[in-house]
Amino acid sequence: MPEYPTALGASSRDSITLLGKDLATDVMGEVGFGELAFWLATQRRPTPGETRVFEAVLAALADHGFTPTAIVTRLTYLSAPDSVQGALAAGLLGGGSRFLGVTEDCGRFLHEVLVEREPPAGDDGWDELALEVVTAERAAGRFIPGLGHHVHKDGDPRTPRLFQIAREEGLVGPHLSLFAAIGRVHPRVLGKTLPLNGAGVCGAALADLGLPLELLRGFALLARTAGLIGQLAEELRHPVGNDIFLSVDLNNRSVPPSAQGGPHG
């Protein structure tokens, strides 16, 4: 018979091992869920400082109110209350380039800048690199992931707090350093000041923790799962899904087809 080696969960008749530990005696009640999620992804146990930064990221991304992911979760539950998994999945499927996906996009963007460069020395060096990056992106007509927020125009409150936690734990690495420099220099190029948003700083922090870039969106989705469970719990207590549905359904307005005949003319 073929063998399928794994360092993750494995079961025998009378025990379960996880990451080389006995699940019942060494993990349950001994390892927090955030710490375990980090450990599962990296197959190394994080330090207390890494756990603190990682869990701060999860908290930052868990819930932002009535975002599209929350609304679609509530509406899917309204339509199919027998399928909690469907409601959660519907919300998670909305994690893309505008919501949640910025975490991965920012981490990847910063990493691509840094991968072929030696980290600069001091803020002046980081500012010089950031100025080069922002200028190049502006010339190419591209937006910088993590720069700007549709609500927090004057600053995302999550951003300075996550920088503070990373500094306290000695975990400000090259990704956070470059992101901070982009925040300092971009007004010189763009002619306006935009906030560094929370999703972006989360991506920079996760990249500095050495987590796989390919999984950064997965960690955002892990965080949002907790938030969506909270949305469903509140929907059970104080339902608004039907009101959202009716506000559209009862206020639709019939119009003739477009003279252009649709998006393709």
Number of folded domains that form the chain: 2
Hey, what are 76's tokens? 């899917």
What per-residue confidence (pLDDT) applies to 99? Answer: 75
What per-residue confidence (pLDDT) applies to 234? Answer: 97
Mean residue pLDDT of the chain comes to: 92
What per-residue confidence (pLDDT) applies to 73? Answer: 96
In a domain, 189, yes or no: yes
In a domain, 219, yes or no: yes
d(CA 239, CA 230) in angstroms, rounded, equals 12
What per-residue confidence (pLDDT) applies to 262? Answer: 59
What per-residue confidence (pLDDT) applies to 242? Answer: 95
| Full residue range of the structural domain in which residue 172 is found | 101-214
User: Which tens digit of pLDDT belongs to each residue from 142-153?
Assistant: 999 999 877 777
What per-residue confidence (pLDDT) applies to 217? Answer: 94
In a domain, 176, yes or no: yes
User: Which tens digit of pLDDT belongs to each residue from 131-142?
Assistant: 999 999 999 999
What per-residue confidence (pLDDT) applies to 95? Answer: 83
In a domain, 2, yes or no: no
Q: Point out the residues of the chain with pLDDT beneath 70.
A: 259-265
Q: Which CATH number is 193's domain given?
A: 1.10.230.10
Q: pTM value?
A: 0.91
